[in-house]
Amino acid sequence: MARSYHHGNLHAALLDAALAIVEDGGVAAVSMSKVAAMSGVSSGAPYRHFKDRAHLLAALSQRAVEACMRRLEAAAADAPDEYEAFRRKGIEYVRFAVDEPTLFALMSRGKLLMKGDHAATGVVAGSANDDDATRSGVQHVDHEELFIRTLAALLGSGERSAPLDPANPILQELAARCLVHGLAHYFVDGLLDSIGVGPEQAERLAEALTRTCKPVCAAGSARS
């Protein structure tokens, strides 16, 4: 149903409309004209905020990343040490995937954010929302990019066929990230449904599995 837009933040309203379309029909259903119609504005209005559909989806992906990061940071705000911060963030990441499966799926489009230009923010250059759109999401990508580059340096050093040291803190962090991300996908994709394990078990499993990753706390120190 179209929502009549009168005033306020049209940029945010367009993203709200795009998210509603994704929830109803998936990413493939999103078009600039549908977003405009749902927002109650002219078909040309979205182009004053987003260059095209790809930029709109990039901004929607960034919104998903930001929503997730806010929850992770809040979950770990009073953690007594690095290990407990990781553990709380890991549990909250799985919770987020279960609570917000659409936003979680949109986060997989995050590689669009790695370009580092206005395509990364999904915002037309010079728009009033430029600063707001580039804050927390891009900071998160910077952290992710640092980890990826450190991993790439590790894998590119020495003989490429030489075995890697599993005690290396970078590999330990990668293992922990893969574990948490994989568990989240198990629930979002329903891979445990056949054995009667549903989303209500997500926190219990995340609580247990993150306790297997204690050495990961050394990884952050290795890059600082």
From residue 176, how far is each of 98, 106, 209 by CA, in Å?
19, 22, 9
- State the amino acid at position 219 in one-letter form: A
Non-local (6+) Cβ contacts of 148 within 8 A are: none
- Average pLDDT score over residue span 77-88: 91
pLDDT band for 135, please (50, 70, 90 cuts). Answer: very low
- State the amino acid at position 196 in one-letter form: G
Non-local (6+) Cβ contacts of 49 within 8 A are: 10, 11, 14, 123, 124, 127, 129
Residue 140 host element (H or E): helix 136-156
For the chain, what are the domain ranges? 50-223
pTM of the model: 0.76
For the ranges 70-79, 116-125, 131-140, 155-164, the one whose mean pLDDT is highest: 70-79
Q: What is the percent of the chain with per-residue pLDDT over 70, rounded to a whole number?
A: 75
Non-local (6+) Cβ contacts of 180 within 8 A are: 90, 93, 94, 206, 209, 210
pLDDT band for 125, please (50, 70, 90 cuts). Answer: very low
Q: What is the pLDDT of residue 108?
A: 73
Q: Which CATH class is domain 50-223?
A: mainly alpha
CA dihedral 177, 178, 182, 185 (to 10 degrees): 60
- The CA distance from 196 to 173, in Å, is 30
Q: What is the pLDDT of residue 109?
A: 66
Residue 138: is its pLDDT beyond 90?
A: no
In 41-137, the DSSP E strands lie at none
